[in-house]
Structure 1
Amino acid sequence: MLLQIELYVLGAMLVVMIAAWAYGLAVKNGGWTDVFWTWGTGVVLAAAALLANGVGAIGPRNILVAALMAVWCLRLGLYLTPRVASHDEDPRYAKIRATAKTYPLTMLWVTLPQAPATALLGLSVVLAAQAPGAALGLRDGVAAVLFLAAITGEAVSDAQMKRFRENPANKGQVIETGLWAWSRHPNYFFQWLGWLAYPVIALDPAQPVTWLSLAAPAVMYGLLRYVSGVPLLEAEMVKSRGDKFRDYQRRVSVFFPVPPKRA
């Protein structure tokens, strides 16, 4: 059952990401890749959670896990969509456009791997939805609280950054207030934290397959910390802010929130 659902997730997301690639080429904005991925992942994994035990076996846990995915999708999707629609192309994709010899082919190879990434995240979601027990219990409650704390932290981080950018006095400056005084990327940290909710529900050390529920937090941490998140964004910040951002890097944790070092 798990393999069957994962193949469904992979196939559905390949369709979504090919559409994202085509639309991004049409409107000349690679940032739509992130928008399509967010909405596609949310819808596909919410459906996978509902159907994890079969069409006629939708229980409270299926609904809970699907609801967590829906909340994640709505929060991130409603943040990203107007941002991509109203701003210039994200510097990451603009750099690809400027340097790639064959931009459409390069973007295809950037876009398509996001489908199997969703399938890996789906391992955690589906295993959580398939956790034994008809009624919701303590672990479900802990997972829901953890997830809501993560969503709240991410929303607060984004709101703090939005206010900072909207203030003309902060042009060319580096934000060092609120959550951004404890982590250089608190929004990424809280986004990662939310994916821990699924192994909280699913993980049973006595059942080897449930260790796969750690796939989502592991994959998300790798992507945000070492691939498409921190490295690319910090390279742009060093380029645009110079020594101000280098000083910020020396004093403030890159990912996990901890008290900042003294100047």
Structure 2
Amino acid sequence: MEGVTLILALAVLILMSVVMTAAWAYGLKARNGGWTDVFWTFGSGGALAGAALWPLSAGGPEARQWLVAAMVALWALRLGSHLAPRVAHGPEDPRYARFRETWGRGYPWKMLGVALPQAPASALLALSVVAAAHRPGPLDLRDAAAVLVFAAALAGEALADGQMRRFRADRRNKGQVMDRGLWAWSRHPNYVFEWLAWWAYPVMAFDAARPVSWLTLVAPAVMYLLLTRVSGVPPLEEAMLRSRGEAYRAYQARVPAFLPNPFKRFR
């Protein structure tokens, strides 16, 4: 099983390298780096769902393979349907706008260096997805618990995104910092719930006695690093400090960047 998992992760790496090269080219043509996120989301969703369903048994994919594939597809559809309209009809994401401004003539090739490393990230996520999809045995309470974690994560992320969308749509809030609802507990609640969604796979399949199941922990670890150290919080915080200044610094002082701190909140 370990060999099959690694082969499928390699296949995802190759496929996503093609997808992210296309994302880079399309983003240059559209003059909007935000398409990188859209291509990665839908591309990863398709690649990971396919990896979950392969290899086919004599009677077709097992029930758990279908369940994992459906979860990955729902994740991609929800996130992609949120991102695509924003990218297509709104201004360029401030992170990519900053890259364009800072890099100048070097932007096209440096942007390729932003897009392509996202393919290995998808391959690492595939390790967790495939390991969970191939846990032996019929569906059980662990699968139900994983679905509950996954559903709560998607609902929470949709709620956070909806709160931010309504805040931005109100002209009275122009230039202000969103610090209401879930955003009063975390500066990036949408990222917190995005990370939580990937814990569904360890909940479903982790077993310390089964070595391949340790791979299910890769996805939440990778997503935590990406969201908090690489492409999520750091560039977005930098952009918010430039646009909101002292108001955002005050927000940083009272609200945690990622995981909520109830004790600080109530105190």
Q: TM-score, normalised to structure 2's length? A: 0.94
Q: In structure 1, list runs of 5 or more residues that go unmatched.
A: none
Q: CA deviation at 1:261?
A: 4.0
How has the CA–CA distance of structure 1 residues 18 and 169 changed in structure 2, closer, same or farther, with 3 Å as cutoff? Answer: same
The residue number in structure 2 matching 1:250 is 253
Matched, 1:79 2:86: no
The answer to whether the Cα contact below 8 Å between 1:251 and 1:262 also exists between their aligned partners in 2 is: no
Instruction: Identify which of 219, 231, 234 aligns with 1:231.
Output: 234
Q: Which amino acid aligns with 1:39?
A: F
Q: In structure 1, the residue corresponding to 2:49 is in which secondary structure?
A: helix
Q: What is the rounded CA distance, in whole Å, between the counterparts of 2:171 and 2:19 in structure 1?
A: 38
The residue number in structure 1 matching 2:120 is 116
The residue number in structure 2 matching 1:200 is 203
Question: Alignment identity in percent?
Answer: 59
Q: In structure 2, list runs of 5 or more residues that go unmatched.
A: none
Q: Which amino acid aligns with 1:127?
A: A
Q: Which amino acid aligns with 1:20?
A: A
The answer to whether the Cα contact below 8 Å between 1:195 and 1:217 also exists between their aligned partners in 2 is: yes
Q: What is the rounded CA distance, in whole Å, between the counterparts of 1:61 and 1:257 in structure 2?
A: 33
- Structure 1 window deviating more from structure 2 (148-157 vs 205-214): it is 205-214
The residue number in structure 1 matching 2:164 is 161
Q: What is the rounded CA distance, in whole Å, between the counterparts of 2:79 and 2:212 in structure 1?
A: 30
The answer to whether the Cα contact below 8 Å between 1:52 and 1:130 also exists between their aligned partners in 2 is: no
The residue number in structure 2 matching 1:129 is 133
Q: Which runs of 4+ in 1 moved over 2 A?
A: 52-57, 257-263
Q: What is the rounded CA distance, in whole Å, between the counterparts of 2:209 and 2:132 in structure 1?
A: 15
The residue number in structure 1 matching 2:53 is 50
Q: CA deviation at 1:57?
A: 3.9
The residue number in structure 2 matching 1:104 is 108
Q: What is the rounded CA distance, in whole Å, between the counterparts of 1:102 and 1:176 in structure 2?
A: 36
The residue number in structure 2 matching 1:64 is 67
Q: CA deviation at 1:236?
A: 1.1
Q: CA deviation at 1:244?
A: 1.1
Q: TM-score, normalised to structure 1's length? A: 0.96
Q: Which amino acid aligns with 1:162?
A: R
Q: CA deviation at 1:54?
A: 4.7
Q: CA deviation at 1:55?
A: 7.2
Q: Count residues with an aligned counterpart.
A: 262
How has the CA–CA distance of structure 1 residues 70 and 55 changed in structure 2, closer, same or farther, with 3 Å as cutoff? Answer: farther
The residue number in structure 2 matching 1:34 is 37
